[in-house]
Amino acid sequence: MSEIALKKSPARRVTIRRHGVIVRLTHWINAFAWIFLLMSGLQIFNAHPALYWGKQSNFDRPFLSMTASTQDPTRGVTWIAGHAFDTTGWFGVSKRNGELTQRGFPELMTWPGEQDLATGRRWHFFFAWLLVINGSVYLIAGLLSRHFSRDLLPTWRDIRQIPHSIFEHLRLRFPHERRYNVLQKLAYFSTALIALPLMVLTGLTMSPGMDAAFPWLLEIFGGRQSARSIHFFTASFLVLFVVVHLAMVLISGVFNNLRSMITGRYVVEEEP
C-alpha cells in the first residue's frame, strides 16, 4: 500500500477592521497625555521624594524614599521597607549641569526639567483632566458598542487558555487573530477598567477641595498619604504596562500593529 503525504495548506491572510475611529483616536490622545502626565507627576514627587502609609507622614519611617546619603551627599540612596540601595546617578542623587545634585528622579525624567513644583502641578492637572475626559469618551463608546464585553472581558474558555498562551508567548509565537488572546484581554481590561480609574480616584483624594466635597474618598483609601502611595504604584504599573505593550508591538509586527491603530485595518492569518 502506498503512503500519501498530506501537506498542510498555508494560512490565508485576511485584512479585517479591528479598531473603530473612537478607539484609535482616544488611544493616541491617551498616549500623548500619559507622557506629560507621568513626567509632571515625577516633578511633583520630587518635591518630597518619599511615600508613607496612613493619614499622616511619618518622616522618620517612610516605606519608600529617594535621597542623598547622610554620610556622603554625592551618593544617592533609595530606601524600600527599611532596606537601602545605592542608586547614585538614577534616584536620590543625579547629575544636573555636570554636577551631582540631590533629586528624587533625574531631570530627564521630569517635566519641566528644572525643579519647579508649581509649574509641574499645572501641567499635571491639565493633562489629568484631558485623560479623564478622553477616558470618559472611550468608556461611554465602549459600553454602547459592547467593546468591553465583546473584546476585552475574558471568558471562562479564555481563562483555561492562560497556560497555553503564556507558553506561546515564551516561544515568541504571536499568531495574528481576529480576537485578542487571553493575556491581551487581561492586560487591557485591568489597565482600562481598574488601574486608570484607581489612579484618577487616588489623585482626587490628594486634593483637599475634593476631600471636603467627597469625604468618603479618604475613608476608602485610608488617608491622603495612603492615596498618594497607591497613586504612585498604580502609575508604576501603567509604566510597566506601556513597556510590555511596546515590546509586544515590536516583536509581533510593528507595521501591522501601527496600521491597525491608525487606519483600523489589521491582517490576520486564518486556516483555508
pLDDT digits (tens, 9 = 90+) for 230-249: 999 999 999 999 999 999 89
Q: Identify the band that residue 8 occupies on the pLDDT scale cut at 50, 70 and 90.
A: low
Domain tally, the chain: 1
Q: Identify the band that residue 271 occupies on the pLDDT scale cut at 50, 70 and 90.
A: low
Kindly state whether residue 99 falls inside one of the protein's structural domains.
Answer: yes
Kindly state whether residue 100 falls inside one of the protein's structural domains.
Answer: yes
Phi, psi angles (nearest 5°) of residue 8: -75, 130
Kindly state whether residue 89 falls inside one of the protein's structural domains.
Answer: yes
Contact (CB, 8 A) for 205 and 224 = yes
* Percent of the chain whose predicted confidence (pLDDT) is above 90: 61
What pLDDT does residue 197 have? Answer: 93
Kindly state whether residue 216 falls inside one of the protein's structural domains.
Answer: no
Residue range 208-236, pLDDT digits in tens: 889 889 999 999 999 999 999 999 999 99
Q: Quick one: average pLDDT of 256-261?
A: 92
Q: 60 lies in which domain range?
A: 50-104
Kindly state whether residue 87 falls inside one of the protein's structural domains.
Answer: yes
Global confidence as pTM: 0.87
Residue range 33-83, pLDDT digits in tens: 999 999 999 999 999 999 999 888 888 889 999 999 989 999 999 999 989
What pLDDT does residue 9 have? Answer: 58
For the cut 70, the answer to whether the pLDDT of residue 30 exceeds it is yes
Give the C-alpha separation, 54 to 19, whole Å.
Answer: 42
In single-letter form, the type of residue at position 112 comes to P
Give the C-alpha separation, 129 to 119, whole Å.
Answer: 16
What pLDDT does residue 10 have? Answer: 64
Kindly state whether residue 258 falls inside one of the protein's structural domains.
Answer: no
For the cut 70, the answer to whether the pLDDT of residue 1 exceeds it is no
Nearest Cα neighbor of 27 from 251, 263, 218, 240 is 263
Kindly state whether residue 178 falls inside one of the protein's structural domains.
Answer: no
What pLDDT does residue 95 have? Answer: 87
Kindly state whether residue 1 falls inside one of the protein's structural domains.
Answer: no
